[in-house]
Structure 1
C-alpha cells in the first residue's frame, strides 16, 4: 500500500506543476497579446556580436520589449538594422539614444534606450514603417571592435621587448654597468682630490662674495656722489633757464637792428685807409721828434735838414 500511496502523491504534484506551468504560459500569452507595441528600427554602423532575436530591449535598465529581427543594411552590408518592439506606453522620443549593453557574462547583448527629454517629440513606431534610430557606439562595442588592433599592438610591444632584451643588448648593458662600476671606483679613489677641489671652490666663493661686497660699496659711494651733484645740476639747470630769456632778447635785438649793424660794419671797413694814413702820420711825427731832440736848432733852422725831413 505504501508504494502506491507514494506514486499517487508524486503523480499529484507532477500534474499540479504541469497545470501551473500551462496556466502561467496562458497568462503570459494573454498578457503579451493585450500589450500594445511600438516598432522601431535601430541602425548600427559596427558589428553587433552577441545580439540575437528574442533578446531583451531595455530602457535605462528596465525591460520594455524584445529584438524581433536583425538584417544587413541594403545600401551598406557593413551596417546592421535591428527591428525591435517596445511597450507603446514607453515614450521613445527624437532625442532618445540607443546602444548595446552586455546582458550577462556569456557575451549576450541587449539593446538599451537612454535619454530623451519631455520637450522632445515622441516617435510614432508603427509596424509597417518603423522610424530609424541611429545607435550610438558604446565603450564596450568600441573595445570589441578595436580588440584586434589592441592585440596587434600588444604583439608588436612584446616583439620590441624581445628585441630590446636580445643577447647583444644584454652584453651592452653589462658593459655599461661595468663602466659605471669602474667610474664609481675611480671617484672613490679620487675623493681626497675632490674634497680639496671643493675646498678651493668654497674659498673662491668667499673671495667672490667679498668682491661683490666691495662692488656694492663702490656703487653706494657713487650713488652718494650723484646725490650730492643733484643740487649743482639743478642750479645749472636754473641758470640755463634764466639765460634763455636774455639770449632770446639778444636774438630779437640782433634781428631788429640787422641793417644798422650792417651799416656799422661797412663804416668800419671804410675806416681802414684813414687808419693807415694816421699810422703814417704818427710814424713821421715820431721821426721828427727824435730829430728835434738830437738837433733842435738845426732841425728848426736848417733848410737841408728840413729837406731831408721832407724826404
Structure 2
C-alpha cells in the first residue's frame, strides 16, 4: 500500500509540475513583445555571437538574435535572423556591426545608420527584409594588421637585398669617410676658436662704430636743419636783388626815354634865352635910351616921309 501511495504522490507531483511548466511557458509566450524579423547578411566572421544575443540600435537594446546559419543561396555568406521592436527606425541606410561585450569574448549586434537615407527599408510579401553587415573594428584591425605584416615582410626582404656584402662594404667605407670628416670638422673648429673668441670684441666694436655713425648722422641732420636758415635768407636776398634790378632797369628806362629828352629841350631853351639876352645887352650898350624911349625904327628911305638926302 505504501509503494502505491508513493507512486500516486509521484504521479500527482509530475502532473502538477507539468501543468506549472505549461502555464509558465504560455505566460512567457503571451508576455513576449511583438517584433519584426530582419536578416543580417554578413560576409565576415561572427565569432562570439550566439542565439539570444542582444541587438542594440545606437546603444539601446531593441531586440535579440533568433537564428544563425549559412545562407542557403550563398554558403560563403552568413544569415543572422534578428527580431527587433516595431518602433525601431530601420531605414535603407541602416547597417549592422559586430561589437564585443566587455572582456567576456561574447558579441552583440549593433545597428546604426549613416543618416543619408531616411526612407524605410523595402519589405516584400513573404520575404524577410535584409540588412547589410559592415566590418567591425577588430575585423578592420585584423585586415590592416595582416597587410602591415605583409608589408613588414616585404620591407625585411628589401633590407636583406640592400644589406648585401657589397653594400655593407660601401657602408663601412662611408662610415670611415664620415669619421674622417668629423675629425676634419674638429680640427676646423679648433682653428676657428680664436676667431670665435675674438668675435664678441669685434661685435662690440661694430656696435660702437654703428653708435658713432648714428650720432654723426644726427649731427649732420642738425647741421642740415641749421643750414636751411641761411639758404632761406640767401633765397630771400636773391629775390630782393632781383626786384632791385627790375626797379633799376625801370629807372634807367625812365631816365633814357623821359628825363634826358626833357633835359635836352630845357638846355636848348636856355641857349635861346641866353642868345636873346646877349642881343638885348648889345642893344642896350648901343642905345641905352631905348630902355626909356623904346627902340627907334630904321631911318626913312627914299620916297618916305622924313627922308633927307643930306642926311646921308
TM-score range normalised by the length of the shorter chain? 0.3 to 0.5
TM-score by length of 1: 0.48
TM-score by length of 2: 0.48
Query: Highest Rg: 1 or 2?
Result: 2
Q: Which has more helix, going by share of residues?
A: 1
